[in-house]
Structure 1
């Protein structure tokens, strides 16, 4: 039964029986302090300061395994697939590449979209495959905004959606992000409560109804 915590911005910690994966750790330049989170594996979607602070992560084993490019990886029973995408709508001409990661942990399939800047092609969707939990940027700026995020969710059809990369009080960017409420309103939700942690059970996910469920996680900062 893996569990998920939101460390702020686009950073999540996935903990299961086979290990702990940390996605897109950020540095203090964005106004948030990630502290010293622990992990066995770190995934980096692209080489920007708000997504690539590997130095902040404390290894749970002798050496931290860092995944920062497309490909297939297996680390102590955890399967990770990196899928090449782009940080913009111009095939990377403006902001470069982005890697989407599909993470198989304790029979649950997670997908972290990083700073995805476009809707997905059929080839990218096939490479991603079936997804249980999708971490999707929703705040616009240098990545997709609310309407595009909803389109990407419809493309992937996950069981659970967890929004990320939206405005937080402490965040500081040259191009401000949109608040989470813009996304939830676009989704047709009037009220949404935040949870401290998401705990998952593969058999329960299989039994869940077809409709995608939105889960908002409260950031655990510092």
Structure 2
């Protein structure tokens, strides 16, 4: 039986929140169906579509995120993958968005969400605990955000995740997320249509407190896969025109 859980409010605090073409690369303000995906730095994204705004993994400015702007954007729902400060800092978000941070099945404004537990380290979760990967459909597009996954994807997890249209996958390594080779293996398992790499070193990083690799290491490992680079931090993706095989989409961050 499908387990139903409650969705809490960000303003209440974490402890009390229990609770599926080739992409149409259109200008961010284009009026098209589907979903708008905005990269706010690190593993933080804002997904807008179907009249709903979903924010994933807002962070604090420290270490690898020191030079990014705080993602204080308006959202209806906030999903976080862990309570580490680079994936689960909800203080100061505008309004009173609803918050989900625990694996399970949820419904929000007609959107079905699935939080899937996967280890946040390579030691069975003993070092950094459990990461929650988030799966949902918005604007007709199947989205899977792996958060800070660090463990291989099991058969059971693969069944829950399905084949995403858009996969946000960490690629920079460290003790708490996939490195380039591990990200490649996850992509092979999931066979997504569009891959958006996350959790890699940029000029936002504090050089003395950031141990993740730059994007180039992942792109080198993925040689042979088409790479598209956007001059914007935002793309619109339409469900009617997705690629048949995986394509890597790199978004730009305006410092």
TM-score (norm 2): 0.80
Q: Is the contact between residue 40 and residue 71 of structure 2 (CA under 8 Å) also seen in structure 1?
A: no
1:5 matched to 2:38? The reply is yes
Q: Is the contact between residue 18 and residue 105 of structure 1 (CA under 8 Å) also seen in structure 2?
A: no
Bigger Rg, structure 1 or 2:
2
Task: State how many pairs are aligned.
Answer: 215
The residue correspondences of 1:86-105 to structure 2 (distance < 5 A) are 86-105=119-138
Question: Structure 1 unaligned runs (5+)?
Answer: none
Indicate how the Cα distance of structure 1 residues 114 and 69 shifts in structure 2: closer, same or farther if over 3 A, else same. Answer: same
Q: Is the contact between residue 8 and residue 220 of structure 1 (CA under 8 Å) also seen in structure 2?
A: no
Q: Is the contact between residue 35 and residue 56 of structure 1 (CA under 8 Å) also seen in structure 2?
A: no
Q: Distance in 1 between matches of 2:254 and 2:56?
A: 14
Q: Distance in 1 between matches of 2:155 and 2:231?
A: 33
The residue correspondences of 1:68-107 to structure 2 (distance < 5 A) are 68-107=101-140
Q: Distance in 1 between matches of 2:177 and 2:74?
A: 27
| Partner in structure 1 of residue 87 of structure 2 | 51
Q: Is the contact between residue 18 and residue 77 of structure 1 (CA under 8 Å) also seen in structure 2?
A: no
Q: Distance in 1 between matches of 2:158 and 2:202?
A: 30
| Partner in structure 2 of residue 139 of structure 1 | 172
Question: Structure 2 unaligned runs (5+)?
Answer: 1-33
| Partner in structure 1 of residue 241 of structure 2 | 204
Q: Distance in 1 between matches of 2:138 and 2:71?
A: 24
1:36 matched to 2:72? The reply is yes
Two-structure CA RMSD over aligned residues (Å): 1.7
Q: Distance in 2 between matches of 1:57 and 1:175?
A: 25
